Structure 1
Amino acid sequence: MNVPQAILLDIEGTTSSIAFVAEVLFPYARTHLRDFVAAHPDAVAPILAEVPGDDPLATLLQWIDEDRKATPLKTLQGMIWAQGYADGTLKGHVYPDTPEALRRWRGAGIPVHLYSSGSIAAQKLLFRNSEAGDLTPLLSGYFDTTSGPKREVESYATIAATLGLPPAVMLFVSDIRAETDAARTSGMDALLIARDGGGDVSSLAEVLP
């Protein structure tokens, strides 16, 4: 593999535990959703306007249970999580090899960007308030569902165009094969990470060591 001019990383299962999102972040948002909406009516009104149905709160709670990749939900979740990070209730989980890899790539002059179904605001919160400290100085950019779904080829082409790079000089790492397949079809190099084995790599320590 040639040394890429930019690295694009998935978050859940790649840099951070899926369990942290599923067992900590999602339940926190579900528990605090109604109270947060009631306490911030002006801030959440434009978000609720994008949610279909007569009872947008019920729809949002259903979307949380379904792990729906809906932009209004992801935006609102990020706002709720910000409150939890601010008061110290939440700390972002990252695998031990994540900060090591970010520092290694930064030292090699390779910019690293994140691409997650979670909102850009939520991504920044996790990495700013991680268990390993503030990792945001090691990151160059963030992408979410506003660039397109992660299993669609066009999303990766959009990200490459936004960065002003041809896809062929970028590397994407994810734990979801459908995502790495889409990235490869766009022209990017891609690696499937499986921390229990069975992927191209089992940790970020194996990516451009």
Structure 2
Amino acid sequence: MNLTFDADAVVLDIEGTTSASAYVTEVLYPYSRSRFGALLADRGHEPDVRRAMDQARRLLGDPGADAARVERALDDWLEEDRKATPLKTLQGIVWAEGFARGDLVPHFFDDVAPALRDWHEAGVRLYVYSSGSVATQRDWFSHGPGGGLLSLVDGLFDTENAGPKQSPGSYRAITEAIGTRPGRTLFLSDRPAELDAARASGWLTVAVRRPGEPYHRHAADGHPEVESFAGLRVGRAEQSEASSTS
């Protein structure tokens, strides 16, 4: 089934939506786990690493936690798939270096790049909202197919600059930041709780149900569904009207 939306902005989830969850859990997570110890022990003085370690200590309720204790917490949060901000920050640092060295190459489903280019050409602004850090998102889209997709993206949001993805307040914060009315903003995600939060803030929503992904067979709870971006048309009515009269 094809869906058509008149919208000014599309906000994209990554894992399970633009990219395979298995790549994240089977490639990226082990890569970061194997490098946390050296990062914390050798580079704890660096501002971004130090800030993330202090955040981890606050979450642990242990202001004196040493690098080894923080590493154990990171491993536990990885095992739980917990969207903890310090975990995501430190993963972002490790992954950025992996992308730069060529150890890592981001995964995108084949239908993603053509759709993003079509929507961008139609005048739709594109944003990303992921539990992965903004730094990780920037690297992910910079190293995407065809020389990268970052040039198509107008802004990046994570749990630090927007808030938790299951909170309607986070979507209202993004609305304020991008200056697009909620009813003109379309959110694409595979996770029902995120879609519910976006809908509660007045956004348009689509549940992305890709075969083989963890949420493929989950009920969409009234959200329209697609299995691929190829089944989704997004444009701006005024842009279409202008093109038809030129």
Task: Give the TM bin, normalised by the shorter chain.
Answer: over 0.9
Which fold has the larger relative contact order, with Cα–Cα distance below 8 Å and residues 6 or more apart in sequence? 2
State the shift of 1:2 in Å.
4.4
Shift of 1:39: 2.8
Alpha-carbon distance in structure 2 between the residues aligned to 1:48 and 1:2: 43
Kept in 2: contact 1:91–1:131 (CA 8 A)? no
Q: Which residue of 1 aligns with 2:52?
A: 47
Query: Match of 2:32, as an amino acid?
Result: A
Q: Which moved more, 1:112-121 or 1:122-131?
A: 122-131
- Provide the alpha-carbon RMSD of the alignment: 1.4
Amino acid at match of 1:205: A
Q: Which residue of 2 is the match for residue 165 of structure 1?
A: 180
Q: TM-score, normalised by structure 1?
A: 0.95
TM-score by length of 2: 0.81
Aligned mate of 1:20, from 20, 23, 26: 23
Q: Could you say which residue in structure 2 is the equivalent of 1:185?
A: 200
Write the letter of the residue equivalent to 2:132: G
Matched, 1:111 2:136: no
Separation of aligned partners in 1, 2:53 and 2:194: 29
SS of the equivalent of 2:141 reads: helix
Gaps of 5+ in 1: none
Q: Give 1:99 deviation, angstroms.
A: 0.5
Contact 2:5 2:233 in 1 (8 A): no
1:127 correspondence with 2:141: yes
Task: Name the % identity.
Answer: 42
Q: Which moved more, 1:189-198 or 1:176-185?
A: 189-198
Within 2, Cα distance between the matches of 1:174 and 1:133? Answer: 24
Superposed structure 1 runs of 4+ greater than 4 Å apart: none
Instruction: Give the conservation status (yes or no) of the 8 Å contact 2:20–2:107.
Output: yes
Corresponding residue for residue 33 of structure 1: 36
Distance, in Å, in 1 between the alignment partners of 2:8 and 2:148 is 24
1:193·1:202 contact (CA, 8 Å) conserved in 2?
A: yes
**One-letter identity of the residue aligned with 1:122:** T
- Report deviation, 1:66: 1.2
Bigger shift: residues 36-45 or 59-68: 36-45
Q: In structure 2, what is the Cα distance between the partners aligned to 1:184 and 1:47?
A: 31
Q: Counterpart of 1:84 in 2: which secondary structure? A: helix
Tell me the distance in 2 between the aligned counterparts of 1:110 and 1:165. Answer: 11
CA shift at 1:38, angstroms?
Answer: 2.4
Whether the aligned pair in 2 keeps the contact of 1:7 and 1:170 (CA below 8 Å) is yes
**Bigger proportion of residues as strand:** 2
Pick aligned residue for 1:4 from 1, 7, 13: 7
Name the CA distance, whole Å, in 2 between partners of 1:89 and 1:69: 24
Task: Find out whether 1:201 has 2:204 as its counterpart.
Answer: no
- State the partner residue of 2:112: 98
Q: Aligned partners of 2:153, 2:173: CA distance in 1, in Å?
A: 19
Deviation track 1:118-172 (CA, whole Å, cap 9, x = no partner) reads 0010011111112443110111111100211111111111101111122111000
Which shifted more, 85-94 or 121-130?
121-130
Contact 1:5–1:111 under 8 Å retained in 2: yes
**How many residue pairs get matched?**
209
What whole-Å deviation, never above 9, does each CA across 1:58-100 have from its counterpart, x for those lacking one?
Answer: 1111111111111111001000101111110000000011101
- 2:151 corresponds to which residue? 137
